[in-house]
Amino acid sequence: MDGIDPIDGYSGHRTAEIVGITYRQLDYWARTDLVRPSLADARGSGTRRRYSYRDLLQLRAIKALLDAGIRLQLIRDVFEYMEDQLDEDVTQVNLVIQGTSVMVRRGEDEIIDLLRNGQGVLNILPLAAVKEDLDAKIVELHPGDAPDRAGREIRATGR
């Protein structure tokens, strides 16, 4: 069975369906280390990836950035910079997007240009809204996978 309990994770096919991407995109992103499944990675033929709720949030954020017109390589750079240089949890920040520039808002008054273009602010993408959209999609597609249970995963792991 395909993991009714979100704490046990989501299969690749269910993850792709919930996030709103193709399985092929998900597979490519995992193979190229954009987002590797944190619960279980594929290790040869017959093994299956298991994605956590936090992974789904990250994937949904990537999709939102792609939908905003940001190229995949720039998204890779953004996520890498946030994790390596800022030690930011990508599911807990607000991103500011203008054209091909992506910035992160830290605190009340600090905005850091993640790609160092120094362009102005056009659009703020609150990732809390991404979480709400993700939760609604889970309930719509799989009513038994209540997002409040999935939220326990984040609280239990701190991520």
Q: Per the structure block, which two tokens stand in for 76? A: 């890779």
Mean pLDDT of 57-68: 90
- Average pLDDT of the chain? 76
- Alpha helical stretches, state H, the chain: 12-19, 23-31, 53-67, 72-81, 127-141, 147-157
Q: Is the pLDDT of residue 29 over 50?
A: yes
CATH number assigned to the domain comprising residue 120: 1.10.1660.10
User: What pLDDT band is residue 139 in, cutting at 50, 70 and 90?
Assistant: confident
Range of the domain at 106: 6-157
3-class SS of residue 85: helix
The region of weakest confidence among 72-81, 127-136, 146-155 is 146-155
Q: Rounded to an integer, what distance in angstroms lies between the CA atom of residue 115 and that of residue 138? A: 32
In a domain, residue 55? The reply is yes
CA-wise closest residue to 125 among 89, 87, 91, 83:
91
Which range has the top average pLDDT, 55-64, 81-90, 108-117, 147-156? 55-64
Dist. CA 13–CA 49, nearest whole Å: 9
Is residue 4's pLDDT more than 50? Answer: no
Is 104's pLDDT higher than 90? no
Whether 148 is in a domain gets the answer: yes
- The three-class DSSP label of residue 112 is strand
Percent of the chain with pLDDT over 70: 64
Predicted local distance difference test score (pLDDT) of residue 19: 95
Number of domains comprising the chain: 1
pTM, to two decimals? 0.64
Structural domain contains residue 101: yes
**pLDDT for residue 6 is more than 70:** no
Query: Which pLDDT tens digit goes with each residue over 66-92?
Result: 988 888 988 888 888 777 777 766 667
pLDDT at residue number 13: 93
What are the tens digits of pLDDT across the range 114-127?
665 433 344 456 67
Q: Assess whether pLDDT exceeds 60 at residue 151.
A: no
Is residue 1 in a domain? Answer: no
Residue 11 host element (H or E): strand 10-11
